[in-house]
Amino acid sequence: MGASDAAETAEKLFSAGRVVIFTHERPDGDAVGSAFGLRALLRGNGVEADLVFPEPPPVRYREFTGEPDTPTGHYDAAVVLDCATEIRIGKGIYEPRQLADTLFNLDHHGANSIAGDVELIDVKAAATSLLVWEVAAAAGANIPVAAATLLMLGLMTDTGSFRFSNTDARALRAAAGLLDCGAELDRIVNAVYFSKPRNQQLFEAEVVTGCTRLLCGGRLALAGLDESIFKKYGFSMADGEGVIDLLREIDGAVIALLYYRKGEHWKCSLRSKDAAFPVGPLARSLGGGGHEMAAGITLDAPSAAALEAMLVDRIGSMLDSAKKE
């Protein structure tokens, strides 16, 4: 079947009798919003839908989600949302192809390598939650308030509350449509932006004052987080989706780099606030992925110093090369 538009995807998805939904590990707001939003949407339109979630959602989103499901039996369709590679689906506990006859792949990341029978992949879409909204609109579906709220949550978090460069007229039209369907904007804002735990505030304060350095003439804001800071404040990066934005906010910084050790590997997040300096190509060249302006990498390095040296060299070369052009 292959590539589809929203109308074709809607026709095939809403005609399925049983659907199972997947998203990626370390779920962010868009993964949470699109996955739980689609489940609420399908159930609100008479489709039996279950959701496999790879790990507990970040604390700030849990009041919106309810519990994920344990798959039972065989499904007509499996839907993978907001995930560019199979290795990030559900940590291998359940395999979409083993549970369903047809695989739907809805995503807005570049270089998506998941081969779906029905694919709706649009790198110009601000969020996967936006694609789910467009599929629902194409189907003329009933949009329950819970679904509208979850999809708005995903759209807001992936656009930085409509501050990031992926915000366009299409995203704002979707937001207006979701509000027309009853999306609870105040509830999202209060839960996601105005209910930060005190330990997270203290953690973030030390990230800024004790861990962040400006390199490459102030154009690179870098923070390496030692295990001790997580223990000190009882904080986990599972709830740290917006921490890197503290670096991106620094005046004069063009690229933000945050890294920390997880198990045997280093988790690295990259952000750019200038389209002339995209971080997506750098991430992909090192086996990572994401968007042009927001990307991530899992790397092996013998030490933090070795990791920094490699990344700073590459980022510095990129900044200097683009500057000369």
Which pLDDT score is estimated for 56? 86
Shared domain for 159 and 206, answered yes or no, is no
Task: Please tell me the distance from the alpha carbon of residue 74 to that of residue 76, in angstroms, as a whole number.
Answer: 7
- 297 contacts 288 by C-beta, under 8 angstroms: yes
Which pLDDT score is estimated for 325? 47
Shared domain for 221 and 316, answered yes or no, is yes
Shared domain for 246 and 163, answered yes or no, is no
Domain with residue 213: its CATH number is 3.10.310.30
Angle (deg, nearest 10), helices 128-139 and 145-158: 140
Shared domain for 162 and 59, answered yes or no, is yes
Shared domain for 225 and 187, answered yes or no, is no
Per residue, the 3-state secondary structure of 240-278, as one string, reads CCCCCHHHHCCCCCCEEEEEEEECCEEEEEEEECCCCCC
Shared domain for 185 and 204, answered yes or no, is no
Among 150, 178, 193, the domain boundary falls at 193
* Among candidate residues 32, 17, 267, the one with its CA nearest the CA of residue 128: 32
Shared domain for 273 and 308, answered yes or no, is yes
Strands 294-299 and 289-290: antiparallel
Shared domain for 118 and 33, answered yes or no, is yes
Shared domain for 54 and 113, answered yes or no, is yes
Among 162, 193, 224, the domain boundary falls at 193
User: 3-state class of 299 per DSSP?
Assistant: strand
Provide CB contacts within 8 A for 276, sequence distance 6+: 322
User: Which tens digits make up the pLDDT trace of 257-275?
Assistant: 999 999 999 999 999 999 9
Task: Please tell me the distance from the alpha carbon of residue 119 to that of residue 1, in angstroms, as a whole number.
Answer: 8
Q: Determine which helix (DSSP H) or strand (DSSP E) holds 222, and give its type and residue range.
A: strand 220-225
Neighbours of 140 (CB within 10 A): 9
> Domains in the chain: how many in total?
2
Among 135, 167, 193, the domain boundary falls at 193
Shared domain for 241 and 100, answered yes or no, is no
Shared domain for 311 and 222, answered yes or no, is yes
Which pLDDT score is estimated for 148? 98
Which pLDDT score is estimated for 3? 65
Domain with residue 97: its CATH number is 3.90.1640.10
Shared domain for 75 and 158, answered yes or no, is yes
**Which stretches of the chain drop beneath a pLDDT of 50?**
1, 324-325
* Global model pTM greater than 0.75: yes
Which pLDDT score is estimated for 324? 47
Domain range for 165 is 2-193
